[in-house]
A and B are shown apart, each in its own frame.
Chain A
């Protein structure tokens, strides 16, 4: 694996990660996102419908919470989770938790971490964790870690320190076990930066984790709680400053467009793509513009459109909250609203996705009102494509030194 930076501007890293995958010839662009999956499948989508989407990321995110309980089956299968789920060509990253489903706190011990599957709690020591990874054989996996420093209202220094200590211990154990496993030689451990909201602990975590032979870093504990991301951005910059340039930085729990840009400016490379999924689940379509270079007439139209949309959105629903919030954001429209009943426009004019090329807002509205399964399929197709398009726009803006325009455009739509 080789990370090459094309340029770094205002803290934002633009580049490519090359020589990825079992065959060593896959590439990923950064900044970028990972395809969000539930139990090894993009939500609502079969291989057929997934591949109608343009710009699907080269790497998909699997969650241990959905797969740990199937350890036995995967071990017997032997050929790895990629083949099992029908995505043998995709790069795979296995995270501990599902960013969308909060897990009960209080189950991390010095020796184990728990995840929650359909069948209940799965407790994992480092050995069990690595045994599961052996059965999965992902390209990258998040190391076992203690992410609960930020679970309580006020992070105590003691708890923050513990999260760092435990995570480092888990990391060293897992690295050792990896050395002893032939199967896992091709997989890369992603070190997890913990430390809650305590600067000293965050720095310690970053410095210590960076000393280990990890393939990349996951910035944990910056995700949505009543305290928004904003108050943690300072911590984030300090953390990434301690990390080596040539290894990727992932962040979990952050997926909303405005937050994504804030994190990119602070040295983050890769994001989860659960935001389009959350929008889908509330019957919404992403409609925010990322066209930072529109031709003049279109600017006016789009602005009017945005303003008009803004007028109807219930003020109590709009809130600048973090990604895991289930409430509708200002980046989307709610197709359940009666006003879409006779709207024969596509979800987003000019969008090249399957849904926008073939269907109307009126049809999606009908599917939602009648509780039809196809609503989820079509919205997911649009929302993923729109979101992946956003990331492409970020990369292009960085390339042409126009990120400020894109940022301004996104911020205009964020409230």
Chain B
């Protein structure tokens, strides 16, 4: 539980992360987050439940899969159903009846990625609602106000988000503005004892800018740090270098949340680079397109080759889908209009992600993480030479060689 602090300063912000084990070679860590709605083992993958629902699976199903923290989106929920209603429903936990932890992002990313008519000023992000055309201003204060109403266990600062493919002065402007907005978020935060406000490191793909951001933001004693501005259109080579730079300058005793990362290989590599928390729509979104995640990649089950494949998606998987159903049946169901097909795959893909992180964590605790990484890459790519070069380089940079 978060310790009680005076509302005016975060000088003694709670240490919500307890380190359980560290890899002696790489920067991988295993830990435990202590959050208001219960402990969360790290490294952790957090499924994204955008609009107060995990896309077709019930809260009970998600709990049964072992999920202990998932995401909600401030932008979406701020519009529909709105913070006032959610507050009446006893917060987002009460509204969706989720007993475990919730993390809400600030709405910043959606502002930029979803809304064509959005304008960023020092005040905040001005945008037009896609639902009723009304103009609103999402300021750091307003974002925190909405998140306070939502009551999520971890809330994110409003950051000035620029696409990772943008270069030039805009990147610098956004980085400095994000620092100023962080301070405004900290000042506006009404519930530091119940909700943990994370900072988001920006700076794009510029090492100097990112280093500056790291230096400044780590002066603020927030409970955790997110690495933002990545996982857009940048090259993987640039991506890993920015992640590595960030983790090298972030405090060890606070969680590192890498936003928007969810591909299996990326997860494993970024754990090696020292990240603890991840979120991504990929596994749940790809499920709804009929794609099942497996240790060797993915199975596009709608394809004809699975029509008579009577094996489960993964014989090693303990999820309800794999326990009861074959690829052939799922193939048949995916070609019907019964939404159950999508739910079967959503369940499996979430199980896959959680099982992967569990296995990663166990290997760190049992001091065999580098071997785990090698096995993982071998299963996924076959030959070490077929492994993507960025991953090989990234792993090498923290002392893990493949093959």
Write the residues of chain A forming the contact surface with B, with a CB cutoff of 8 angstroms.
Answer: 38-49, 52, 66, 70, 73, 76-77, 84-86, 118, 341-342, 344, 354, 358-360, 362-363, 366-367, 369-370, 372-374, 376-378
Contact = CB atoms under 8 A, between A and B. Distances in A.
A48 B338 contact: no
Contacts of A373: 53, 55-56, 339, 342-343
A354 B60 contact: yes
A60 B343 CA distance: 20
Interface in B40-86: 51-61, 64, 76, 80-81, 85
A377 B58 contact: yes
Nearest to A365: B81
Interface in B160-210: none
Contact of B328 (A43, A84, A359, A362): A84
A366 B329 contact: no
Nearest to A85: B329
A86 B335 CA distance: 17
Contacts of B326: 84
A226 B239 CA distance: 64
B339 A376 contact: yes
B335 A118 contact: yes
B289 interface: no
B120 to A, nearest CB: 26
Contacts of B97: 358-359, 363
A48 B329 CA distance: 16
B205 to A, nearest CB: 35
A46 B336 contact: no
Interface string B75-101: 010001100010011000001110000
Given A76-B308, A354-B58, A342 B328 contact: no
B290 to A, nearest CB: 14
A361 B51 CA distance: 16
Nearest to A101: B337
For B88, B95, B347, the residue with the greatest tally of chain A CB atoms inside 10 Å of its CB is B95
B3 interface: no
B347 A46 contact: yes
Given A38-B338, A70-B332, A374-B58, A366 B325 contact: no
Q: Which 10 A-B pairs have the closest CB atoms?
A: A373-B56, A39-B336, A86-B324, A374-B53, A38-B338, A41-B340, A370-B51, A366-B81, A372-B53, A358-B97
B338 A44 contact: yes
Given A358-B59, A374-B56, A48 B64 contact: yes
Chain B, interface size: which category? 35 or more
A365 to B, nearest CB: 8
Nearest to A44: B339
A47 B61 CA distance: 11
A375 to B, nearest CB: 8
Contacts of B324: 47, 86
Interface string B308-345: 10100000000011001110110011011111111110
B307 interface: yes
A101 B11 CA distance: 65
A359 to B, nearest CB: 6
Given A366-B80, A377-B58, A342 B88 contact: yes
A372 B80 CA distance: 12
A292 to B, nearest CB: 32
Given A84-B328, A360-B89, A367-B53, A46 B320 contact: yes
Contacts of B96: 363
B136 to A, nearest CB: 18
A38 B337 contact: yes
Contact of B81 (A41, A46, A341): A341
Nearest to A374: B53
A359 B95 CA distance: 8
Nearest to B331: A73
A362 B340 CA distance: 24
Interface of B: 51-61, 64, 76, 80-81, 85, 88-89, 95-97, 307-308, 310, 320-321, 324-326, 328-329, 332-333, 335-344, 347
Contacts of A46: 61, 320-321, 340, 343-344, 347
Given A44-B338, A370-B51, A372-B55, 12 more contacts: A41-B341, A42-B340, A47-B324, A86-B324, A341-B85, A342-B88, A366-B51, A369-B81, A370-B76, A373-B55, A373-B56, A374-B57
Given A70-B332, A370-B80, A377 B337 contact: no
Contacts of B335: 118
A341 B147 CA distance: 20
Given A73-B308, A358-B60, A367-B53, A39 B338 contact: yes
A52 B60 CA distance: 10
Nearest to A372: B53
Contacts of A341: 81, 85
B320 A41 contact: no
B343 A86 contact: no
A372 B49 CA distance: 11
Contact of A372 (B51, B337, B343): B51
Contacts of B343: 44-46, 49, 373, 377
Given A76-B308, A86-B329, A354-B58, A66 B336 contact: yes
Contacts of B52: 363, 366
A173 B88 CA distance: 65
A373 to B, nearest CB: 3
A353 B95 CA distance: 18
Contact of A40 (B60, B310, B320, B329): B329
A377 B56 CA distance: 7
A84 B329 contact: yes
6 contacts: A39-B336, A41-B341, A46-B344, A47-B320, A344-B88, A374-B55
A202 B325 CA distance: 43
B80 to A, nearest CB: 6
B374 to A, nearest CB: 35
Nearest to B343: A46
A354 B338 CA distance: 21
Nearest to A66: B336
Contacts of B341: 41
Given A118-B335, A376-B339, A362 B89 contact: yes
A45 B320 CA distance: 13
Contact of A77 (B59, B310, B320, B337): B310
A38 B335 CA distance: 11
Nearest to A375: B53
B81 A44 contact: no
Contacts of B339: 43-44, 373, 376-377
Contacts of A47: 320, 324
A44 B51 contact: no
Contacts of B329: 40, 84-86
A66 B341 CA distance: 14
A360 B57 CA distance: 16
Contacts of A118: 335-336
Contacts of B95: 362-363, 366
Nearest to B346: A373
